[in-house]
Each structure stands twice: as structure tokens, then as C-alpha cells.
Amino acid sequence: MKAIIQTSTALTPNVKRFLIETEVPINALPGQFVTLSFPELLDENNRSIARSYSLLNWAANDSQLPVIELCISLNSLGKVTPWLWGLDKPVEIESTEALGTFTLRDYQDSVYDEVSRILFICTGTGIAPFIPMIEHILNNHPQKEVFLYSGNRNFTDELFTDILKLWEVEFPLFTYVPVFSREVSAENYGYVHAFYKEALHMNCHVYVCGWSEMCKEARQHLKAMGLTRKQYFFEQYN
Ligand SMILES: Cc1cc2nc3c(=O)[nH]c(=O)nc-3n(C[C@H](O)[C@H](O)[C@H](O)COP(=O)(O)OP(=O)(O)OC[C@H]3O[C@@H](n4cnc5c(N)ncnc54)[C@H](O)[C@@H]3O)c2cc1C
């Protein structure tokens, strides 16, 4: 369907939030993504280049989204993101419906009663699908412990700090752990994998989102910790 990139605002030096109006409002579950194609950007076969992006917002209670929100990081050597950064007026593109199965298990179902703790592990814009997912759990399953481990290089790369800190105050069972790989003075200095291990236990579910290296490493750690394939779920960005 047709869609129009309306506005973008900087969230960090390298990440922008984009608002996109779709021709028809879409349904979306927390964790889903859209695939956008860009008629102004053609590949070697003269076809529009397409890229996928996780939705920052979602449609509660069977409602529909009039505008979709995305959070995108600039890859200065990439084909699409430098073009997105250069836009100075609304532009028409194409969008799919919300897609993907990286969504929350149905925690209403008694089969998941024993899952007492849910961990979210990400780096960079891998946090995008977790914003609606965590919001959903906090509001609908307040008895579950929720941990978010979010890795970035520098303090200036941290995303959604205000809302995450607010949720920590509002929801006592929510813990936010920002980790920084290039800030020696950080409370949590290093790679994200060094920090979530202590929170893992046999009754937890783990959602992981980010680029392939991070996902690969997380998979190895989770397996080594004895978690089964039914306990962890991945969204890999490439
Ligand atoms: C399901 C899904 C959801 C996604 N959601 C998001 C999202 O919410 N936000 C978002 O920013 N991206 C997201 N992506 C990645 C996005 O689709 C593009 O790959 C990204 O925007 C780069 O596009 P590009 O054309 O500028 O770079 P390309 O020309 O595709 O770049 C080539 C290569 O550079 C590497 N690369 C690019 N950016 C990075 C980076 N930041 N860190 C490490 N390696 C990188 C990758 O190996 C990539 O294959 C998602 C991908 C998938 C599959």
C-alpha cells in the first residue's frame, strides 16, 4: 500500500524516529515490523529497494494505527538510511501490513503461568520492538518480572531513557539495565552479554533483538545456561 514519510526527529546523533502515514490504517501486534520499499531507490534489476523496520507503536484492542512510528539508525555506507537522512519533505513510498512472528507469547494462557520472569536483550535500535512489547506486559501482566538489557556504545546513544526510567518507578517489577561498551565510567561497562546471565533462570522467557553477531552470541550464552529452544525468541536485523 502507499505510505508517506511525514516527519523525522533525531533521538540520538545516529538514530531518528520516523512517522509514516499509511494509505489504510494497519493492525499491529507488539513486536511486528513493516517492510518499506522506496521507488526512488532502485537495485541493479531496476526494482525498488526494500528494508524492514520494527514498529515502535502498536494497535491496542483491535484498533488500527493511523500513523506508524519507526526508530532507525544511520548506516552511513548503506543504500537506504543515508537517503532517509537526506529527506527534507514528505515522500511517497510503499509499505506492507504489519508482519512477523516475533510477538509475545500469550501470557493469558495458563500454560505460561510458570514463566515468572521475562528478559529482553538488545543492542542499538534492536530496542524498537521491545518498547510496545514491554509496555504491553507491564500493563497486562503486572505480576511478571521484566528485565530489559539494552546495549549501546556511548551514553549519547541511549534510546528512550525517559520512558524506561518512568516505567521503573511506575512498575516495581520492571528493571532497566543500560550497558555501554565504550564508557569506562558507566555503572554497566562492557557488552550486554556479561550482564543478563545473573537474571536467567529456568522459569524465564527471553526475547533478543539486534544485528546478527549479537544474536549469535546471545544464542550461545542462552544454550550454555541450559535454556531450551522454547524459552528464547529472536529477531535478527540482517
Ligand atoms: C525484521 C527486521 C526489522 C528491522 N528493524 C529495524 C529497526 O527497527 N531499526 C533499524 O535501524 N534497523 C532495522 N532493521 C535493519 C534495516 O532493515 C536495514 O538493514 C538498515 O536500516 C540498514 O539499511 P541500509 O540500506 O542503510 O544499509 P545496507 O545497504 O543494507 O547495509 C549493508 C550492511 O551493513 C550492516 N549494517 C547496517 N546498519 C548496521 C548497524 N546499525 N549496525 C551493524 N551493522 C549494520 C549490515 O550488515 C547490512 O547488511 C531491521 C531488519 C529486519 C530484518
Q: What is the CATH number of the domain that holds 231?
A: 3.40.50.80
149-165 tens-digit pLDDT: 999 999 999 999 999 99
pLDDT of residue 62: 65
Same domain, 221 and 155: yes
Same domain, 152 and 64: no
Task: Tell me the average pLDDT of the chain.
Answer: 94
CB-CB contact of 109 with 141 (8 Å): no
116-157 tens-digit pLDDT: 999 999 999 999 999 999 999 999 999 999 999 999 999 999
Q: Which residue's CA is the closest to the ligand 1 atom numbered 34?
A: 78
Total domains, the chain: 2
Buried b (16+ CB within 10 A) or exposed e, 26-40: bebbbbbbbebbbee
Q: Which residue's CA is the closest to the ligand 1 atom numbered 11?
A: 72
Calpha distance 237→91 (Å, rounded): 24
Prediction pTM value: 0.95
Q: Is 80 in the pocket of ligand 1 (CB under 6 A)?
A: yes
Domain that holds residue 227: 110-236
Same domain, 115 and 161: yes
- How buried is residue 47: exposed, middle or buried, by Cβ count under 10 Å (0-12/13-18/19+)? exposed
Domain end (from 61, 95, 129):
95
* Closest ligand 1 atom to Cα of 99: 1
Same domain, 146 and 232: yes
Edge-to-edge strand order for the sheet containing 232-236?
Answer: 174-180, 145-152, 117-123, 204-210, 232-236
Please report, in angstroms and rounded to a whole number, the separation of the first and last CA atoms in the chain.
24
Percent of the chain having pLDDT more than 70?
98
DSSP code, position 99: B
Same domain, 87 and 122: no
Same domain, 43 and 157: no
Residue type, 46: N
User: How many Cβ atoms from other residues are within 10 Å of residue 226's Cβ?
Assistant: 10
Average pLDDT on 79-87 reads: 96
Helix (H) or strand (E) holding 86: helix 81-86
Same domain, 230 and 119: yes
